[in-house]
Amino acid sequence: MQLDIFRSLWGHRGDRRSIFGDVREAGLAGIEARLPLTADERAALLRDLKEHELDYIAIVFTDNAVLPDQRATPAQHLQDLDRKLGSAADLSPRFINVLAGNDRWPLAQQVSSSARRSSSHENTNSFAVSKPIERDPCIARG
């Protein structure tokens, strides 16, 4: 088994590119970072990942980054998830870390939304990424 270590950019406020060389030099497998919202930003990230030969774990929020609009419905979150999964696939992430829904929903609504998310993607390729996983990776955040 091979241990692959990723550098999480969770909370990183600087320029992503400034870290990529350090990540590569340290021998890490790649980065975990939010999915860029625009096509231009995704294209730039893809170029940087290829240039530094790094793998990518995408972080996807539904509705909005971190704090969702309190008026957004579960259906709107599912639509947003589908759109963002499609966008993430362009980057061939090794994994997609999905933070979906709204913690402020009543428990019953959270459970119902989670079940709908799972069932709506159960028999589709929505979660498929174009890069196959060839090993059983373990991930450590650093």
Mean pLDDT of 107-122: 56
CA–CA separation, 17 and 52 (whole Å): 10
pLDDT at position 110, please? 56
Whether the Cβ atoms of residue 136 and residue 3 lie closer than 8 Å to each other: no
Summary mean pLDDT of the chain: 77
Residues belonging to the chain? 142
Q: What's 6-122's CATH class?
A: alpha beta
Condensed to tens digits (0 to 9), the pLDDT of residues 59-70 reads: 988 877 666 667
Judge if pTM exceeds 0.85.
no
pLDDT at position 78, please? 83
- Three-state DSSP class for 32? strand
The residues spanned by each domain of the chain are: 6-122
For residue 1, give the nearest of 134, 141, 142 by alpha carbon.
Answer: 134
pLDDT at position 8, please? 94
Higher pLDDT, 59 or 114: 59
Condensed to tens digits (0 to 9), the pLDDT of residues 28-49 reads: 999 999 999 899 999 999 999 9
For residue 58, the surrounding DSSP H or E stretch is strand 55-61
pLDDT at position 101, please? 65
For residue 30, give the nearest of 4, 10, 3, 61 by alpha carbon.
Answer: 4
Confidence bin at 130 (pLDDT 50/70/90): very low
